[in-house]
């Protein structure tokens, strides 16, 4: 199996740049329902054009539809899903289980890929997604190559996709609530405010970028993923420029093609475009060097070490160093700030070799060069006066690299559409009629005239084929063509061209009508998902993790999170007075530990613990496989809308906990849905959930606290959050994310 190189496309130019640089596929999105809402994204026409181009070049286009959907947004979401389906992309990338359900039932032509936001981090999760119709699963970034290989060997026909390069979230993807809870900008809706990149008061008394991850870069290690039979290697970066996309794609294309020399050059080129400090995270095992707590932003590619700062007769200062890279005027240089923080950057205005002392437009690699320092009194440039010999110097912008990757040109008229269309043309002395069929839609158009016998009737088919092949700029391409011409007539090209335009217009109208009819049917079906339950809903529940005390109160049910080390005897000894008990598991259990967890769950069920709460699809699948019927779902399964509630109900879930990032309007929807839904009244909401400890713990005076629980690092507010649930609903106190 040949591996796919998959590149980001935040806009149309980035997609073309990726393809030109060697990408096999790109992923992009329309304006709404994208995990990168602040990217430029594509219009509907741009998406159509991109898919036409990709088909012609034997490439693929995947459309990201990877956010959760509120009930109030469901109508717009289904409308957009129908638009995506009409464009016939290679696949759609989905987070919301309700959207996956609608796509599966009403837009079956769409291939489904499971977003990394669905938190697939073990084999059980991958298999669960496969059972829901997902052909491909994007694995969590936190997995090691050993875990990925283990999953790949046992996941059957389900394709795996892995990130290989780009920015890293501190929190596990899909489990970050910081931006949603603190600024009402949900990362699960593509509007992250990047709280992990901010400085925080730390335990050492200063400020630290305690949660700011280095960028992910696998480099040559991508070959290990190829050996593990991973289907697709994914570069992150839909917020990045076409130049970055091209440079990153070229780097990994060279690696996959086995051209080590080209890869080395491409990496240096990429670093001039955008480069933070990098990590392979946990790909090769345990790793403590994953956070950069001192610097943010672009650094550049290393070009040399400062030899000294010289002065000319006019008192101007020059940096002298031996450059490893050819430089030219207007390239950018950066020097790390002496105390960390933002590098000191400036453009080259004057440059000379150390020998000639005459100004030059460009200098070659491997020579001593002098660069004029900016005559600048701004505060950030003052440290330049104190830089010392041996200081690293970086090239942060290269005009040569910009010329290597020009923005490709595109003319829509040069490319036929993606919808293969069968045409039948019938000629009579007074009428030419064309019938066209595509995607189950049948259209008909005709033109009247006085059509005489052809002098060369054998050329009639050729003329008709030529006319109906001119489909550039439309959604259609010529499939089969049949011509009925019993009278051997002459068909003027002007009539045929008019007929082609008429049938295309009719096809557009009928296909759009069919699309709108499907949208109406899908929305009508979602209304039918609401159903009254006959089961009793406990009015007040408590959730804790094992070891926490049960506070005084009249609890209808207590839910306890257990790990693989906890035994039934531990539960009986620790909570002897709890009468109505339900068990849960950690929200993230790695592939390497999941079998132990499964064994623990079996042990509990054998001893009569038959009430469980699922936190993800993996545990839901495991519980069902053990014939457990009393299953609830915590907020981390993200049941925001009627369709997702119906999907999880079909999977065996009896009741749900509303996510803390719900707005008041959606909470009201859930309270009136007819499903059994509990609403948070109090919770130390997990802002970050991570496998990575912060570089510095928050100071004792900080309102934040970070601690380890069930092998996960949790960051939350010291004081619990109090919610305002709808009236007369079942409520939950969730202490499981509290430090105490």
Instruction: Summarize pLDDT for 570-621 with one digit per residue, the tens.
Output: 999 999 988 899 999 999 999 999 999 999 999 999 999 999 999 999 999 9
- For 236, left (φ over 0), alpha (ψ -120 to 50), or beta? beta
- Residue 39 pLDDT more than 80? no
Q: What is the mean pLDDT of residues 713-723?
A: 96
- What rounded mean pLDDT belongs to the chain? 93
CATH number of 301-404: 2.40.30.10
Q: What is the mean pLDDT of residues 229-233?
A: 98
The reported pLDDT for the residue numbered 205 is 82
Are 4-168+215-271 and 301-404 equal in CATH topology? no
The reported pLDDT for the residue numbered 80 is 96
Find the radius of gyration of the CA atoms of the chain. 30
261 Cβ partners below 8 Å, 6+ apart? none
The reported pLDDT for the residue numbered 297 is 86
Helices 242-256, 12-21: axis angle to 10 degrees equals: 20
d(C-alpha 214, C-alpha 343), whole Å:
16
pLDDT-based confidence at 730, cuts 50/70/90? very high
Domain ranges of the chain: 4-168+215-271, 301-404, 418-528, 540-684+720-734
The reported pLDDT for the residue numbered 86 is 95
The reported pLDDT for the residue numbered 532 is 58
Q: What is the mean pLDDT of residues 29-57?
A: 90
- Residue 380 pLDDT more than 70? no
3-state secondary structure of 330: coil
Q: What is the mean pLDDT of residues 401-415?
A: 90
- Residue 69 pLDDT more than 60? yes
d(C-alpha 618, C-alpha 119), whole Å:
10
- Residue 535 pLDDT more than 80? no
Q: Quick one: DSSP state of residue 698?
A: B
- Residue 64 pLDDT more than 60? yes
Residues 290-346 have pLDDT tens digits of: 999 988 889 999 999 999 988 888 888 889 999 999 999 999 999 887 666 677 889
The reported pLDDT for the residue numbered 423 is 97
d(C-alpha 309, C-alpha 195), whole Å:
39
Q: Which CATH superfamily is domain 540-684+720-734 in?
A: Copper homeostasis (CutC) domain (3.20.20.380)
Among 27-41, 523-537, 722-736, the minimum mean pLDDT is found in 523-537
d(C-alpha 251, C-alpha 257), whole Å:
10
The reported pLDDT for the residue numbered 36 is 79
Q: What is the mean pLDDT of residues 422-441?
A: 96
d(C-alpha 349, C-alpha 371), whole Å:
8
pLDDT-based confidence at 377, cuts 50/70/90? low
d(C-alpha 87, C-alpha 81), whole Å:
10
- Residue 123 pLDDT more than 90? yes
Q: What is the mean pLDDT of residues 60-76?
A: 96
Helix (H) or strand (E) holding 617: helix 617-625
Q: What is the mean pLDDT of residues 240-255?
A: 97
pLDDT-based confidence at 562, cuts 50/70/90? very high
CATH number of 4-168+215-271: 3.20.20.70
The reported pLDDT for the residue numbered 379 is 62
The reported pLDDT for the residue numbered 1 is 59
The reported pLDDT for the residue numbered 382 is 65
Residues 626-684 have pLDDT tens digits of: 999 999 999 999 999 999 999 999 999 999 999 999 999 999 999 999 999 999 999 99
**Beta carbons of 381 and 345 less than 8 angstroms apart:** no
Q: What is the mean pLDDT of residues 500-523?
A: 96
* Residue 625: C-alpha distances to residues 601, 621, 622 (Å): 11, 6, 5
495 Cβ partners below 8 Å, 6+ apart? 432, 447, 449
The reported pLDDT for the residue numbered 530 is 55
- Residue 522 pLDDT more than 60? yes
């Amino acid at each position: 199996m040949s591996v796919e190189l998959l590149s980001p496309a935040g806009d149309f130019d980035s997609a073309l740049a990726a393809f030109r640089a060697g990408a096999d596929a790109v992923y992009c999105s329309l304006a709404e329902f994208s995990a990168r809402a602040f990217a430029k994204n594509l219009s509907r026409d741009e998406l159509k054009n991109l898919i036409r181009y990709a088909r012609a070049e034997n490439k693929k286009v995947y459309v990201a539809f990877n956010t959760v959907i509120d009930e109030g947004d469901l109508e717009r979401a289904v409308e957009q899903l129908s638009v995506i389906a009409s464009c016939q992309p290679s696949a759609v990338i989905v987070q919301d289980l309700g959207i996956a359900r609608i796509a599966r039932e009403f837009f079956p032509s769409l291939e489904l890929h499971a977003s990394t936001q669905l938190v697939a981090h073990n084999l059980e999760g991958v298999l669960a997604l496969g059972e829901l119709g997902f052909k491909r699963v994007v694995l969590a970034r936190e997995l090691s190559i050993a875990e990925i290989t283990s999953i790949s060997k046992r996941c059957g026909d389900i394709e795996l996709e892995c990130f290989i390069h780009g920015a890293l979230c501190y929190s596990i993807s899909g489990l970050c609530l910081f931006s949603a809870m603190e600024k009402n900008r949900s990362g699960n809706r593509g509007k992250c405010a990047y709280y992990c990149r901010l400085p925080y008061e730390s335990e050492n008394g200063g400020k630290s970028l305690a949660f700011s991850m280095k960028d992910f870069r696998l480099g040559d290690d991508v070959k290990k993923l190829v050996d593990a039979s991973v289907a697709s290697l994914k570069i992150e970066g839909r917020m990045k420029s076409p130049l970055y996309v091209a440079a990153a794609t070229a780097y990994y294309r060279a690696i996959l093609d086995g051209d080590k020399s080209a890869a080395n050059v491409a990496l240096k080129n990429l670093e001039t475009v955008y480069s933070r400090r990098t990590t392979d995270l946990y790909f090769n095992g345990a790793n403590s060097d994953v956070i950069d707590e001192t610097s943010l932003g672009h650094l550049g590619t290393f070009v040399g070490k400062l030899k000294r700062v010289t002065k000319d007769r006019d008192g101007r200062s020059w940096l002298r160093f031996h450059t490893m890279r050819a430089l030219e005027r207007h390239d950018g240089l950066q020097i790390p700030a002496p105390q960390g923080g933002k590098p000191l950057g400036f453009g080259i205005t004057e440059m000379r070799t150390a020998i000639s002392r005459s100004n030059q437009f460009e200098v070659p690699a491997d020579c001593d060069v002098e660069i004029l320092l900016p005559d600048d009194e701004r505060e950030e440039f003052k440290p330049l006066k104190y830089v010392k010999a041996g200081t690293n110097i970086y090239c942060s912008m290269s005009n040569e690299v910009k010329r290597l990757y020009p923005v490709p040109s595109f003319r829509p008229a040069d490319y036929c559409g993606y919808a293969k269309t069968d045409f039948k043309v019938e000629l009579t002395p007074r009428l030419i009629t064309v019938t066209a069929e595509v995607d189950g839609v049948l259209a008909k158009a005709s033109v009247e005239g006085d059509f005489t016998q052809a002098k060369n009737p054998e050329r009639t088919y050729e003329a008709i084929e030529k006319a109906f092949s001119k489909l550039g700029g439309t959604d259609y391409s010529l499939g089969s063509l049949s011509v009925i011409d019993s009278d051997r007539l002459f068909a003027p090209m002007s009539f045929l061209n008019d007929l082609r335009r008429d049938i295309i217009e009719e096809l557009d109208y009928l296909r759009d009508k069919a699309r709108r009819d499907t949208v109406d049917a899908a929305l009508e079906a979602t209304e039918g998902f609401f159903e009254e339950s006959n089961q009793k809903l406990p009015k007040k529940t408590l959730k804790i993790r094992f070891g926490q005390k049960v506070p005084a109160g009249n609890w209808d049910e207590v839910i306890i999170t257990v790990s693989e080390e906890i035994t039934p005897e531990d539960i009986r000894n620790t909570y002897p007075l709890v009468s109505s008990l339900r068990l849960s598991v950690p929200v993230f259990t790695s592939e390497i530990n999941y079998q132990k967890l499964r064994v623990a769950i079996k042990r509990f069920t054998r001893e009569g613990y038959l009430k469980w709460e699922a936190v993800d699809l993996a545990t839901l699948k495991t519980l069902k496989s053990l014939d457990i019927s009393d299953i609830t779902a915590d907020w981390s399964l993200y049941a925001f809308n009627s369709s997702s509630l119906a999907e999880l109900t079909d999977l065996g879930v009896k009741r749900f906990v509303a996510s803390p990032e719900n707005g008041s309007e959606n909470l009201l929807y859930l309270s009136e849905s007819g499903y059994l839904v509990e609403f948070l009244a109090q919770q130390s909401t997990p802002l970050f959930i991570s496998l990575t400890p912060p570089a510095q713990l928050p100071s004792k005076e900080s309102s934040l606290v970070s601690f380890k629980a069930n092998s996960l690092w949790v960051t939350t507010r010291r004081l619990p959050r109090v919610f305002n649930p709808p009236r007369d609903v079942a409520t939950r106190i969730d202490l499981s994310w509290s430090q105490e």
